[in-house]
Amino acid sequence: MESPGVALMLWALACLSGPSTGFPNGKVTEHFPKHTVEVNVTEFKPGDRVKVSLSGPVFEGFFLQARNAENLEGPAIGSFALADRKRSQVLTCGRVKNSAVSHTSKSKKSHLDAYWIAPRDAPKRIQFLVTVVEKFRVFWVKIPGPTISQPNIPTLATPVVTEVTVGTSLPVSHLTQPFSASDCGSNKFCVRNPSDCDPGARDCFFLSFKRDHVDLIVVEMSGPSDGYIAFALSHDQWMGGGDDAYLCISDSHHVDIKTASLTGRAYPEFDSEPALDEMSWRLADGLIQCSFRRRIHFPALQGRFNLDANYYIFMADGEVSEGGMIHKHYRQPLITDGKFNVTGPAKDIGGSRSPLLIKIHGALMFVAWMTTVSIGVIVARFFKPVWPNSLLFGEEIWFQVHRALMVMTVLLTGASFILPFLYRGGWSDQAGFHPYLGCTVMALAIFQPIMAGFRPPPQAPRREIFNWLHWSTGTTARILAVVVIFLGMDLPALNLPDPWDTYTMMGFVAWHVGTDVLLEIHGYCLIHKGTVTNLYFSLH
């Protein structure tokens, strides 16, 4: 069933109650329905197939059934067979199987046929009743259709029907156009990603809060997704810990609006009844849109936060599998860069999908393994003869520079290394090989200065072994570090623009390799000219 919401409500209104009675919050007006039900017979016998046609002004939903004309409060009679399997479905009303026909989607229609099959124990007269949802909140409830009877039975007068406007608590497809950002910052509090994007655009995530009454807030959310979009209010920058979440879940041409508590990194705990009003939605152009109204204060309900306080706001999107099961967001959620009071002064803010700690982690690692380490190696490899006779603080200049740069590399790596652990609060299972290789690089980076500290003097026979170990450990660390950076760049937490991040990084690697090769060639030429001694190629 594609639209459980309206179908369920129609079922409740039409299946259970008698005609035109007892509609909750109903505003009864004096209009007459414009929809009609027609049949191709006036008499029937048990087992007969009767063609029933519903037509009239464009409608979205309907619910058709037959009842005993002398007891309209009684159960549904007979069963239906479908003439239009795409747009209609049979439902079970009471205990009688297939005793009602309803819509499958809220697509606009003006005509629909179905076949009614008279049961063996049919009453003398039956009457068709139809409930029609013309549009949002306009229902024609229990429009009496024709009465048909078994042979030789006089017909009955038909009861009166009324148009009923029902205040529904179920989400309905009511929105007709993308949300507007024109009030953002002046009249409503907006979060947009990318900043200042148009909520109708294909890549725009939009969330707004607008005060409706003293104690009511209208929330609008839209974003590109074919699964779900969601936002959550949180006291901290980590999801979980009872965060207050609102999800708009697309379920084959229908959107469910749900509230949930996020505890830990587990599946959200959905509330059975979202305490929201005026839920409506729209699916168009690859965007999910939904809006609802909620009270600012929720003293009684667990899980909902009061809106007049400061929160971090998260926005996420992800996929939904068959059956409405939601999947974890496949990219990093958007997080506002501070706590905000959505009921306070109207603001128009952006946010970031990349946490600051992770950005710093990436930046420091990049500086360490693309800059300081490379210069340090080049200095040790090619700059020994540049200042052959001058010392700096009692050591040769190339060595001082090399050591300073390498110590800086290790310090930068160490400082940067702890940031993801701080951000995740532990080990991340979702980063693939990146953390494993990263730890290897960290270990090599720590091992390298320790080994250098215990190096044998330049003339010692074991010096050769040290030279090779020092070189191979360093080179392994550098190569691994480049691999780790490539892996890390594509992780969602950094949210870099694919594929240009990879190309840029390739450019850097090419530049470094190219520089090394050029310097090697240069050095080789110098040796052949005999302008430098072997000192040039010996390590300190």
Toward ligand NAG, which CB reaches closer, 54 or 484?
A: 54
Contact call for residue 53 and ligand NAG (CB under 6 A):
no
Q: CB 308 → ligand NAG: shortest distance, Å?
A: 4
Contact call for residue 41 and ligand NAG (CB under 6 A):
yes
Other Cβ atoms within 10 Å of 442 Cβ, number: 19
Residues 256-275 that bind ligand NAG (CB under 6 A): none
Q: CB 311 → ligand NAG: shortest distance, Å?
A: 10
Q: Which of 312, 291, 280 is nearest to 210 (CA)?
A: 291
Structure-block tokens of residue 127: 């009457």
Q: CB 151 → ligand NAG: shortest distance, Å?
A: 13
Q: CB 430 → ligand NAG: shortest distance, Å?
A: 34
Which of 17, 169, 306, 341 binds ligand NAG (CB under 6 A)? It is 341
389 contacts: CB under 8 Å, gap ≥ 6? none
Q: CB 345 → ligand NAG: shortest distance, Å?
A: 7
Residues 175-194 that bind ligand NAG (CB under 6 A): none
Structure-block tokens of residue 6: 């309206």
Q: Quick one: DSSP state of residue 455?
A: P
Toward ligand NAG, which CB reaches closer, 70 or 308?
A: 308
Helices (H) and strands (E) in the chain, counts: 7, 30
Toward ligand NAG, which CB reaches closer, 80 or 417?
A: 80
Contact call for residue 51 and ligand NAG (CB under 6 A):
yes
3 state DSSP class of 172: strand
Contact call for residue 115 and ligand NAG (CB under 6 A):
yes
Toward ligand NAG, which CB reaches closer, 71 or 310?
A: 310
Contact call for residue 42 and ligand NAG (CB under 6 A):
no
Toward ligand NAG, which CB reaches closer, 11 or 80?
A: 80
For helices 397-424 and 356-367, what crossing angle results, to 10°?
A: 160
Strand ranges (E), 180-215: 189-193, 205-213
Question: What's the rounded Cα separation, in Å, for the pair 120 and 78?
Answer: 9
The burial class, CB within 10 Å (0-12 / 13-18 / 19+), for 410 is buried
The burial class, CB within 10 Å (0-12 / 13-18 / 19+), for 86 is exposed
Q: CB 344 → ligand NAG: shortest distance, Å?
A: 3
Q: Quick one: DSSP state of residue 195?
A: T
Toward ligand NAG, which CB reaches closer, 344 or 432?
A: 344
Q: Which of 337, 263, 267 is nearest to 302 (CA)?
A: 263
| Structure-derived torsion over alpha carbons of residues 490, 495, 498, 501, reported in degrees to the nearest 10 | -70
Toward ligand NAG, which CB reaches closer, 286 or 344?
A: 344
Residue 313 one-letter amino acid: I
Give the total residue count for the chain.
Answer: 540
Which of 24, 46, 57, 344 binds ligand NAG (CB under 6 A)? It is 344
From residue 145, give the alpha-carbon distance in Å to each of 10, 11, 128, 360: 17, 18, 5, 70
Gyration radius of the chain's alpha carbons = 36
Residues 272-331 that bind ligand NAG (CB under 6 A): 308-310
Toward ligand NAG, which CB reaches closer, 1 or 39?
A: 39
Toward ligand NAG, which CB reaches closer, 203 or 308?
A: 308
Q: Quick one: DSSP state of residue 534?
A: G
Contact call for residue 49 and ligand NAG (CB under 6 A):
yes
Which residue stretch of 43-51, 176-184, 454-462, 504-512 sits at the interface with ligand NAG (rule: CB under 6 A)?
A: 43-51
Q: CB 82 → ligand NAG: shortest distance, Å?
A: 12
Q: CB 150 → ligand NAG: shortest distance, Å?
A: 15
Which of 107, 169, 343, 495 binds ligand NAG (CB under 6 A)? It is 343
Which of 40, 195, 472, 538 binds ligand NAG (CB under 6 A)? It is 40
3 contacts: CB under 8 Å, gap ≥ 6? 61, 103, 104, 105, 106, 253, 254
Q: CB 39 → ligand NAG: shortest distance, Å?
A: 8
Q: CB 191 → ligand NAG: shortest distance, Å?
A: 16
Which residue stretch of 48-56, 95-103, 255-263, 483-491 sits at the interface with ligand NAG (rule: CB under 6 A)?
A: 48-56
Toward ligand NAG, which CB reaches closer, 212 or 251?
A: 212
Q: CB 148 → ligand NAG: shortest distance, Å?
A: 11
Question: What's the rounded Cα separation, in Å, for the pair 294 and 49?
Answer: 49
Q: CB 54 → ligand NAG: shortest distance, Å?
A: 15
Q: Report how many residues bind ligand NAG under the rule CB under 6 A.
A: 12
| Structure-derived torsion over alpha carbons of residues 200, 205, 206, 207, reported in degrees to the nearest 10 | 150
Contact call for residue 150 and ligand NAG (CB under 6 A):
no
Question: What's the rounded Cα separation, in Å, for the pair 478 and 465?
Answer: 20
Q: CB 50 → ligand NAG: shortest distance, Å?
A: 6
117 contacts: CB under 8 Å, gap ≥ 6? 47, 48, 49, 50, 78, 79, 80, 81
Toward ligand NAG, which CB reaches closer, 345 or 394?
A: 345
Toward ligand NAG, which CB reaches closer, 344 or 388?
A: 344
Contact call for residue 82 and ligand NAG (CB under 6 A):
no
The residue assigned the tokens 């499958």 is 104
Please, are residues 3 and 83 in contact by the beta-carbon 8 Å criterion? Answer: no
The burial class, CB within 10 Å (0-12 / 13-18 / 19+), for 144 is buried
Toward ligand NAG, which CB reaches closer, 273 or 308?
A: 308
Toward ligand NAG, which CB reaches closer, 341 or 354?
A: 341
Residues that bind ligand NAG (CB under 6 A): 40-41, 49-51, 115, 308-310, 341, 343-344
